Structure 1
């Protein structure tokens, strides 16, 4: 596996790039906006294709690079389903899998630092965001943080992983780079408590100043979604209310760009053809499935995804390749709000 730990000194943030092989798909966890060029340079140097950019939670100490990476690579943006961000391409829930080619991480909901905090685990390591730090834990006094919830996330979830599991946090302020679950259980001073009440008392007594970037970072990180109105102004979008009326029309073919797990959890528009977004590029090329479907007379191809971000990017790429396609603005989320049926 290709694995790189990257550091932003201004915010003491660690970002993590993972892939299974050279030439393959890659994902990045907790990227920082100011480091975007460095990430993309490394992706090129390692001969990778960035397909997912992931945040463990809504950060208050730096501006995320999710939007910048999406705009420059057309990658999928990913956060937990509780996020306050306006639009991310994919929202994960506890028990889901975060996957790319050759890599699959367990999705663990670990609230407490914030109410949208998640950790992501491989068999030998876990990316803990700000929930579990090296010899510390994330503060719980803003963004709907809750010390008792964090206690359960720590003792009920993360500390039940094998002792040898490597711990890779989103931050470190002392120069440490990695720990293990066993080390943290034995030596982390904030974990030497006997109850949730004792932990909550410890955390409430910290009296920490707000992060320096909080007033800038949080509003910026809430607004990371792709501007779908630009697609609508080009005449390439169908609003959900209209799309509901089009279902069953003989000239309309619906293309679902979501992953299989999203389809199973959130439902499918009846009659949809499944084409996961990472397969789009090959499908719109000469001889590809969408390329051939678009040739059919009197056929209207209509993309959709979870929130409209992937389908908006897909429309742009397909149109650039000469295909006449449209998308459902707002995706399944808008479809559901419009009363559209799902199977």
Structure 2
């Protein structure tokens, strides 16, 4: 496996690039906006294709690189389903998996630092965001933080992982790069408590100043969505009400760009085909499935919230497939409008 830990010394943020091998798909966890050029340079040097950019939570101390990476690489942005961000391409919940070629991250909901904090685990390591730090834990006094929830996330979720599991946090201010679950159980002073009340008392007595970037970073990080309105203004969008009428049209085909796990969890539009977003650009070339589908039929692309499908529609139009449009607002808008849903394979 290719694994790189990168550091932003301004915010003390660790970002992580993972891939199964050279030439494969890659993902990045907790990217920082100011370091995007560095990430892209490294990805190119390692011959990797970024397909997913993940944030562990809505950060208050730096501006996320998710939107810039999406705009420059057309990757999928990923956050937990509790996020306050306006639009991310994929929202994941506890028990889900984030898959790329050869790698799958297990999703663990670990609220407490914020109410949208998630951790992501491989068999030998866990990316803990600001929930579990090296010899510390994330503060719980803003962004709907909750010390009791964090105690549960720590003692009933993360600390139940095998002791040898490596711990990679989103921040460190002392120069430490990695720990293990076993080390933190033994050596982390905030974990040497006898009760949840004792932990809450410790966290409520910290009296820390707000992060310097908080007033700028939080609003910026809440608004990272791809501009679907621009795609709509070009006439490349279908509203849910229009889409429902097109379901009965034999000359129209709906194509679902979501991952398999999303389809199984949230259902599909009846009769739609499945072509994951990660393969979509390859399918636009000669002999690609989109060329075959879109030859003489109208194609309506959709995803969870419309971001992936808007990007894919723009790419299809640029490739000369003028019969391709997308479902504005995605499956979320479709459900809100009362559109029919079925289980995949039904």
TM-score by structure 1 length? Answer: 0.99
1:326-337 superposed matches below 5 A: 326-337=325-336
2:315 is aligned, of 317, 328, 342, to 317
Give the 3-state SS of the residue equivalent to 2:157 in structure 1. Answer: helix
Give the 3-state SS of the residue equivalent to 2:119 in structure 1. Answer: strand
Q: What's the counterpart of residue 338 of structure 2?
A: 339
Q: What's the counterpart of residue 82 of structure 1?
A: 82
What displacement does 1:294 show? 1.4
Q: What's the counterpart of residue 56 of structure 1?
A: 56
List per-residue Cα deviations over 1:182-225 (Å, max 9, x = no partner): 00000000000011111011100001110000000000000000
What displacement does 1:295 show? 1.4
* Residue 188 (structure 1) aligned with residue 152 (structure 2): no
Give the 3-state SS of the residue equivalent to 1:26 in structure 2. Answer: strand
What displacement does 1:56 show? 0.1
Q: Distance in 1 between matches of 2:3 and 2:212?
A: 30
Q: Distance in 2 between matches of 1:323 and 1:21?
A: 33
* Residue 177 (structure 1) aligned with residue 177 (structure 2): yes
Q: What's the counterpart of residue 150 of structure 1?
A: 150
Q: Distance in 1 between matches of 2:313 and 2:295?
A: 16
Q: Distance in 2 between matches of 1:180 and 1:11?
A: 23
Q: What's the counterpart of residue 231 of structure 1?
A: 231
Q: What's the counterpart of residue 161 of structure 1?
A: 161
Q: What's the counterpart of residue 10 of structure 1?
A: 10
Q: Distance in 1 between matches of 2:51 and 2:195?
A: 41
Give the 3-state SS of the residue equivalent to 2:86 in structure 1. Answer: coil
Q: Distance in 2 between matches of 1:63 and 1:121?
A: 24
Q: What's the counterpart of residue 271 of structure 1?
A: 271
Q: What's the counterpart of residue 110 of structure 1?
A: 110
Q: What's the counterpart of residue 207 of structure 1?
A: 207
What displacement does 1:51 show? 0.2
Q: Distance in 1 between matches of 2:212 and 2:267?
A: 42
Unaligned stretches of 5+ in structure 2?
Answer: none
Q: What's the counterpart of residue 96 of structure 2?
A: 96
What displacement does 1:246 show? 1.6
What displacement does 1:320 show? 1.2
RMSD over aligned CA atoms reads 0.6
1:121-140 superposed matches below 5 A: 121-140=121-140
Give the 3-state SS of the residue equivalent to 1:262 in structure 2. Answer: helix
List per-residue Cα deviations over 1:162-192 (Å, max 9, x = no partner): 1110000000000000000000000000000
Q: Distance in 1 between matches of 2:121 and 2:254?
A: 34
Q: Distance in 1 between matches of 2:130 and 2:240?
A: 37
Q: Distance in 2 between matches of 1:198 and 1:247?
A: 58
Q: Distance in 2 between matches of 1:248 and 1:143?
A: 46
Q: Distance in 2 between matches of 1:65 and 1:245?
A: 39
Q: What's the counterpart of residue 303 of structure 2?
A: 305
Q: Distance in 2 between matches of 1:209 and 1:242?
A: 51
List per-residue Cα deviations over 1:65-106 (Å, max 9, x = no partner): 000000000000000000000000000000000110000111
Give the 3-state SS of the residue equivalent to 2:225 in structure 1. Answer: coil
List per-residue Cα deviations over 1:293-326 (Å, max 9, x = no partner): 2112xx1100000000000010011111111200
